[in-house]
Amino acid sequence: MLSNRKLLLKLNEISVHNLRRKHKPDHWSVVRKKVQPVDKALDHFDEFYGPIFGKKWSEIRAGLLSKQKYVAVVNNYGNAPETCEHLELKGALNVRKLFQLEKDYIEERYSKSKRLRNLLRIWQMDRSTEIDSENGSLDSQKDEKVQSFSIAESLKVAALDKDRIFDARETKSSELLLEFVPATEIKGNEDYIPEFSYNYCDENSDMTVRIEREFDIHFPENLNVYSYGVENDEPFDSPLRDQTDVYNYYLMDGGSIFPVLALDLRPNNTFLDMCAAPGGKSLTALQTLYPSVITSNDISKSRVDRIYNVYRQFLFDFDEKFLRNGRIIISRRDGRDISDAGFDRILVDVPCTTDRHSLKENDNNIFKPSRIKERLRLPELQSDLLYNALQLVKEGGIVVYSTCSLSPIQNDGVVHMTLKRIWEENKKEIVVKDLSPALLMARCLFKLASPKMMKYGHLVLPTRAQSFGPTYFCKLQRIK
Ligand code: SAM
């Protein structure tokens, strides 16, 4: 027999237990106790990215958690001049024009710094000649050389011409400007990528990768992209329908323009967007008016439906004018199994940990315990997709690999693993295009990771002032 006191305690326990069970799963006390996928994602990023980005991590983290910044891609299949005017009246900046201004500015500064360096060289030669002369060792030939340089005169002019003096502090990109020198590099077995659960780094491998610097990014004349300036996080109004019922612009993360620009699309290119849904980058590529055929592919039925929707919202009479005549092809295939080769350009915008989304939405979050295996297998899938794209692109054609993750494994790690596989097979020759010099002009609007941090590609970093990205992109060209 239980004493009264024990009975009371037992009843109390039962009632507390029942009370707890009464709470619905969305009750605050239940929600508070449960570790949500967004929390898991943040813990993972702190643990993984903290040591990689060091002191910069807190700013990148704040950027990731802040409101995502969009750009507006003008629909050329609607009333484009009116849309541009409307966006400009709202205070948005045309990104192509902004990049061009920044590029002119950098070039001007660079040529001034080059002039100064030449003058310095002359001055040094002059000094050494004078010293030689004082020592009585000047031969007649040297004397002639000194005459022809007219060093003293040059120096007088230089002293007066303040315009020739290059102040590295005047440009944000001074450190990079000094590296603004054409070069072809061979990178080899020193490769090291910070690893977490994967180990792609093979320090004993004698693999070599050809990396070529590029000094320009072609921004197609017809591609009009608008953004608000740095530290202006004003959102764009929702797009409007015009007289033909198509939307006037498409809103997407500003970082997403880079994979499309890196494709270096040219008139009459055939273009495969291997993982295309919902279709933002396919639509942006179409807005260049260059591709003769765009194939927008995705593996998922529901997401392929979203591609149809996007095209129908932006292209008048889409089925008749684009689908039926084969200008746009929408397919539902596993990108690893696509076998029709010969594309001029391929975008491999792979499924990834979608870092920003993983910190915001619990639904369908890749950090859910039920998706652990899928998450851990992402790099393999990403590499297989990239590998197939490099098989399908034609000789001289370009493949761009991209993610919306900060993970060095999913980014440079996947590129490394895929290049290694191709190198071992020794059938194709791939060159990595280092766009760092060309991307100097983008630094007026975007925060890009230092090239020193990157092996192959480029990374748009989110910050509070410029909350674009993350977007990783790597441009690869098939040579043979
Ligand atoms: N490029 C898109 C855009 O800009 O609108 C976003 C692409 S999203 C990052 C990745 C896409 O890859 C998802 O739509 C997903 O369904 C698709 N995907 C996943 N596995 C795939 C596979 N094996 N083959 C093709 N697509 C795949």
Q: Does the pLDDT of residue 432 top 70, yes or no?
A: yes
Dist. CA 345–CA 402, nearest whole Å = 14
Q: Name the nearest CA neighbour of 201 among 428, 431, 409.
A: 409
Tens digit of pLDDT for each residue in 114-137?
788 888 887 777 766 554 444 443
Asked if residue 279 has its Cβ within 6 Å of ligand 1, the reply is yes
Asked if residue 254 has its Cβ within 6 Å of ligand 1, the reply is no
Count how many residues are written for the chain.
480
Helices within 227-294 (DSSP H only):
257-262, 280-287
Cα dihedral 336, 337, 339, 345 sign = negative
Hey, what are 359's tokens?
């910190």
350 CA to centre of ligand 1 in angstroms: 6
Q: Does the pLDDT of residue 148 top 50, yes or no?
A: no
Dist. CA 62–CA 255, nearest whole Å = 17
Residues 317-337: what's their mean pLDDT? Answer: 96
Give the C-alpha distances (Å, rounded to integers) separating 238 from 70, 248, 251, 407. Answer: 11, 10, 8, 32
Catalytic residues: 404
Q: Return the best residue to mutate from 296, 299, 332, 345 for the ligand 1 pocket (most ligand atoms within 8 A of CB).
A: 299
The neighbouring-strand residues paired with 430 are: 478
274 CA to centre of ligand 1 in angstroms: 7
Asked if residue 276 has its Cβ within 6 Å of ligand 1, the reply is yes
DSSP character string of 129-194? HHHHHHTT---HHHHHHHHHHTHHHHHHHHHH-GGG---GGGSTTHHHHTT----EEEE-TT----
Residues 6+ apart with CB under 8 A from 67: 233, 235, 467
Asked if residue 334 has its Cβ within 6 Å of ligand 1, the reply is yes
Are 244 and 78 spatial neighbours (Cβ–Cβ below 8 Å)?
Answer: yes
Asked if residue 335 has its Cβ within 6 Å of ligand 1, the reply is yes
Q: Does the pLDDT of residue 168 top 80, yes or no?
A: no
Tens digit of pLDDT for each residue in 198-250?
444 455 567 889 999 999 999 999 999 999 999 898 999 999 999 999 999 99
Hey, what are 18's tokens?
């029942």
Give the C-alpha distances (Å, rounded to integers) separating 433 from 46, 227, 264, 400, 430. Answer: 31, 26, 11, 10, 10
136 CA to centre of ligand 1 in angstroms: 75
Tens digit of pLDDT for each residue in 17-49?
444 456 676 766 656 657 899 999 999 999 999
Between β-strands 328-331 and 293-297, what pairing exists: parallel, antiparallel or unpaired?
parallel
Asked if residue 421 has its Cβ within 6 Å of ligand 1, the reply is no
214 CA to centre of ligand 1 in angstroms: 28
Tens digit of pLDDT for each residue in 62-88?
999 999 999 999 999 999 999 999 999
Dihedral (Cα; 166, 96, 462, 459), 10-degree rounding: -80
- Give the H or E element holding residue 458: strand 458-460
HSE value, Cβ hemisphere, 13 Å, CA-based, for 165: 9
Dist. CA 29–CA 159, nearest whole Å = 74
Hey, what are 450's tokens?
């230092």
Confidence (pLDDT) at 171: 33
459 CA to centre of ligand 1 in angstroms: 19
Domains and CATH numbers, the chain: 52-97+181-478 (3.40.50.150), 106-178 (no CATH)
Could you tell me what percent of the chain has a pLDDT over 70? 77
pTM of the model: 0.79
Hey, what are 185's tokens?
């590099």
Mean pLDDT score of the chain, rounded to an integer? 83
Confidence (pLDDT) at 21: 56
Tens digit of pLDDT for each residue in 202-212?
555 678 899 99
Give the C-alpha distances (Å, rounded to integers) separating 293 from 61, 64, 274, 310. Answer: 39, 35, 14, 17
Could you tell me what percent of the chain has a pLDDT over 90? 69
Nearest alpha carbon, ligand 1 atom 14:
277
Q: How many CB atoms lie within 10 A of CB 362?
A: 16
